Amino acid sequence: MNGSNHRRLRVVPSDGHSRRDLLRYVGGLAVATAIPFPFTGCDGSTPVQTGFFTDAERSALGVLANAVIPPDDTPGGKDLGAIEYIERLMTAFDNENATTPPAIFAGGPFSGRNPYPDENGLPSTNYPPNSFATYLYLDRVKEAGWRVLLFGSAALTGGAPNDALLGAVVGMRDQMKKGLADAIANADPPLEKMSEDDLIVYFNMLEPTFRKLVIDLVSEGCFGPPEYGGNLNLAGWKLTHFEGDSQPLGYSIWSTAQNKYVERPDAPMTTATVTDPEPLSADVIALIDQVVSLLGGTVFQS
Amino acid sequence: MSTRIVGNTALTTFDVLIIGSGAGAGPVAYMCAKNGLKVLVLEAGANHFDHLDDPNQQPVPEHANDEIKFQVRNFIDLDSRMDPRSWRTSDADGLRLSVGAVNGLPKHVGGGMVHADVKMPRFETQDFMMNTLLAGKVQNANFADWPISYADLEPFYAYGEKAIGVQGKTGTNPFESPRSGEYPMPPGLAMYLSSIATQGLAKSGFTAFPYPTAVNSQPYDGRPACNDCGYCSDYGCPINAKGSCAVTMLRQALLTNNCLLLAETRVQKLVMNAAKDTVTAVECVDPTGNVVQYTASRYVLAASPIEDARLCLLSDVGGKGVGNSSDMVGRNLMFHLQTASVGIFNERLHGHRGRTVDTGFADFRGKAVNYDASNPSTALGGIVEISGSERPVNEASYYSEILLRSQFKLDGRVFKKLLRQAPFRDRIIVMVMQAEDAPQATNRVDLDPNVVDFFGTPSPRITYKNHPYELAASDYRGPMMVDPIYKNMGARWAAVTPRDDIPGSAHIMGTLRFGADPAQSVCDATGKFHDVQNLYCSDGALFPTSSGYNPTMTIVALACWVGANMVFPGSPTQAIQ
């Protein structure tokens, strides 16, 4: 959104991350003189699993995925592939070896979903291969970072940098297992038998860090490129009216025959959208009114 | 997997060793290599291009239209645990307030320019003489005139624009300084939202213009025209339509046969002679973890201002730092205070179709007038970028942040409805104003006494607090974006968004400022360290002041200037003829 700062726009003031929270990092310890860390995963000490979730966990996660993205006239989070996305991330290093990179970064440059343009700036019948389908190797620093993120500080011999100052990192795999275990244990009735309204109440009572992790991962699984395991049949992009990746066709296509740009009639760039597939509804308008008021902004049309 | 060793592998001795491979490095490499000097480029991060040194085909990038890869999993951004930085606002905060991401730039071949949307306006004549224009009226600031003028740099702006391929239209920004020629390419097509913005700005009395960007608006230099795929800012270009230095000047340097690039080779320190006035080698960690040394006759810091200063400090443990007799190394660190606003519209604007930014206006920068601390309109703001591009995973995180606030609850039915109707993705225009950061000696980089990176090397600590000068500019002009501008665009809602606590502008300047006086600056007018006879800097670390325009074009021009002076001391224009 923001062309300059390469980060996400902060839409609303955060509830958390206060100055007081930041102060917990203030401390004093000797400078470490560590030499590069070998990965504990390389010598087999990281447990290897082919499936990450148990049936019970998978069932519970399906309920939570549908709590985030409920099924309606379009698929919910479970059927959009959120579980498969999350499981692939949790097991990203399971099959990693000298010939198979970890399942972290899909390749590039093209997915093969869109064709090359022809000389007139129209879609050709020539499609590139899907280079998203294979993963990329990570450099040493990136690999260390991802191992710590997934497995925690134990992924590196001697722990993650600054554990002594900041505390050991709990890996995302452990966060997910613990969060699911608690969500299952505390549910009464069981998650699978909760009414839609009860599920909303229960979901909002989940431990906040786990709740946010589920929301983020389910969103990624539903609306990211399908090569990561989710967005089955591109249904996540379809329901959001999002066109997904567009290379190597793009939206303004250079015609080598005419020496000028040609636009796609099906997806105009410089002109208005002819029909809105899903206009703003009254309840969404009311919600935006509230959010803009929180920001101290202005409602020009009520 | 892309190769870690690129260029002429037969080279074993080097005239020039450059640390970094981004906007401050590529031009120096090209200036030196095309004039016969043997150049070694050391890049800490990975190389995401195949065929970067292949004269028979364009590079093949690993970049893609992939939101998970770039915006969620940070393919090219710093890992905040493995490459952490710490931050505080002043000594009074104690050792630090936070540890993690603090205004990092990507570490990979091509540097931050690869994933930027490469907005490339020049600075103006006034930006080189702010100390004179402000006449000491800004209290507790450290403004300084540049040791070179806009006129000195203009030929290098023109050369750099041609080398990387910049689109734009002379005369459309009413505040631009004289140019020796037209932009190399005309403006490309503008997004639909830009036409709405332009009309609203005109109604408000402001002048929109095509934003100068290093994006091809036609086939150029063997690279294709941009097809406006929309995955621009934060994303590497899958087709090389963005003229990052990786695929332009660095590649051109590699094609001379006088240049070798080693990726995943992280310089840990400069090895100095006993007198500390000569660099004798650099010590690095290679891709397999071995500590190795490389030597050359001359050395260039171009790893970005924070890393440049960090390296100077790491290289003189127990001392003041390499080149630091002035005590200015690491000081006068500047970011741009960015004032962001959002307008939300009833209609869909499909801002994901197009370059991230194709239109802007500079009325909030304007011309320097007599500064009066009691009159905020006299504090210069900056250029304003107009954009709207967004994708659904990021969009979902906005909605979840909203719905998880205490005033609301996460109701999946509402969450999904927001994603389907897309008010914060498909119906927004975002404006971001840069603002001149007043340089302050207390805003600085030093070494955190406790925090280390993956290699156990002390991390940079950022001490940074905004000056009332830029806060006044932001507070005065931010509300003007809402009313009259968004109002006149026809927005239904508009607001200025909250500032971040921790800096994150990705515009990083200062720390090794250049100037004529060795007591007040680190480098001289050619980028050479006052204190070290064979050490140079060629990136934004040299900037004495920050302007209110995006810095990258000036970094490229300045790197051309530094490289040209290394090749032809005293007559640098010979290098670009």
How much is the pLDDT for A5? 38
* B66 Cα to chain A: minimum distance (Å): 7
Amino acid letter, residue B304: S
Q: Say if residue B518 is preceded by a cis peptide, omega within 30 of 0.
A: no
Residues B313, B568: contact at Cβ < 8 Å? no
Q: For the residues B169-191, what does the mean pLDDT come to?
A: 98
Of residues A47 and A218, more confidently modeled: A218
| B263: pLDDT strictly greater than 70 | yes
Burial of B146 (0-12, 13-18, 19+ CB in 10 A): buried
Q: For the residues A26-31, what does the mean pLDDT come to?
A: 24
How much is the pLDDT for A2? 37
* B79 Cα to chain A: minimum distance (Å): 6
Residues of chain B contacting A247 with CB distance shorter than 8 Å: 64-65, 227, 229, 231, 238-239
Q: For the residues B291-300, what does the mean pLDDT come to?
A: 98
Q: For the residues B250-274, what does the mean pLDDT come to?
A: 98
At A12, the pLDDT band (50, 70, 90 cuts) reads very low
Paired tokens of A251: 């939206």
Instruction: For residue A271, give the chain B residue with the closest CA.
Output: B192
Is A161 in contact with B497 (Cβ distance < 8 A)?
no
pLDDT in tens, B311-345: 999 999 899 999 999 999 999 999 999 999 999 99
Burial of B180 (0-12, 13-18, 19+ CB in 10 A): exposed
Residues of chain B contacting A37 with CB distance shorter than 8 Å: 454
Paired tokens of B119: 């907005």
Residues of chain B contacting A252 with CB distance shorter than 8 Å: 188-189, 226-228, 354
| Mean pLDDT score of chain B | 97
pLDDT in tens, B210-219: 999 999 999 9
| A10: pLDDT strictly greater than 90 | no
Q: Using CA atoms, how far apart are residues B328 and B522, in angstroms rounded to an integer? A: 6
How much is the pLDDT for B278? 98
Q: Number of C-alpha atoms within 13 angstroms, CB side, residue B84?
A: 24
Q: Using CA atoms, how far apart are residues B152 and B146, in angstroms rounded to an integer? A: 11
Q: Using CA atoms, how far apart are residues B95 and B88, in angstroms rounded to an integer? A: 8
Is A288 in contact with B493 (Cβ distance < 8 A)?
yes
Paired tokens of A186: 């505390």
pLDDT in tens, B228-245: 999 999 999 999 999 999
Q: Could you tell me if A158 lies within 8 Å of chain B, comparing CB atoms?
A: no
pLDDT in tens, B352-407: 999 999 999 999 999 988 899 999 999 999 999 999 978 999 999 999 999 999 88
pLDDT in tens, B32-60: 999 999 999 999 999 999 999 999 999 99
Chain CA centroid to CA B275, Å:
34
How much is the pLDDT for A27? 25
Q: Considering only A9-18, A90-99, A142-151, B233-242, which range has the smallest mean pLDDT? A: A9-18
Q: Which residues contact B98 (CB under 8 A, 6 or more apart)?
A: A22, A25, B86, B87, B502
pLDDT in tens, A72-98: 999 999 999 999 999 999 999 998 887
Residues of chain B contacting A13 with CB distance shorter than 8 Å: 498
| B20: pLDDT strictly greater than 60 | yes
pLDDT in tens, B498-516: 998 899 899 999 999 999 9
Cβ contacts from A onto B, under 8 A: 422
How much is the pLDDT for A39? 52
Is A1 in contact with B79 (Cβ distance < 8 A)?
no
At A302, the pLDDT band (50, 70, 90 cuts) reads confident
* B218 Cα to chain A: minimum distance (Å): 7
Residues of chain B contacting A289 with CB distance shorter than 8 Å: 493
Q: For the residues B139-151, what does the mean pLDDT come to?
A: 97
pTM of the model: 0.94
Residues of chain A contacting B190 with CB distance shorter than 8 Å: 270
For residue B331, CA distances in Å to A117, B135, B298, B310, B467 come to 51, 21, 24, 11, 14
Q: What interface predicted TM-score (ipTM) does this complex get?
A: 0.96
Residues of chain B contacting A145 with CB distance shorter than 8 Å: 79, 81-82, 454
Q: Number of C-alpha atoms within 13 angstroms, CB side, residue B298?
A: 23
How much is the pLDDT for A1? 38
Q: Could you tell me if A168 lies within 8 Å of chain B, comparing CB atoms?
A: no
Paired tokens of B117: 């949307």
| Mean pLDDT score of chain A | 86
How much is the pLDDT for A50? 54
Is B402 in contact with A268 (Cβ distance < 8 A)?
no
Packing angle, helices A208-223 and A82-90, rounded to 10: 110
| Sheet strands (E) in A259-297 | 260-263
3-state secondary structure of B573: helix
Residue whose tokens read 């971040």: B500
At B162, the pLDDT band (50, 70, 90 cuts) reads very high
Amino acid letter, residue A108: G
The Cβ of residue B109 has, within 10 Å, a number of other Cβ atoms equal to 33
Paired tokens of B191: 């997004």
At A19, the pLDDT band (50, 70, 90 cuts) reads very low
Query: Which of B346, B356, B425 shows the shortest C-beta gap to A280?
Result: B346
Residue whose tokens read 């156990």: B456
Q: Which residues contact A249 (CB under 8 A, 6 or more apart)?
A: A114, A115, A116, A117, A123, A264, B227
Element housing B301 (H / E) = strand B298-301
Long-range contacts of A42-46 (CB under 8 A, 24+ apart): A46/A93, A46/A147, A46/A151, A46/A155
Of residues A9 and B480, more confidently modeled: B480
Paired tokens of B174: 């009413």
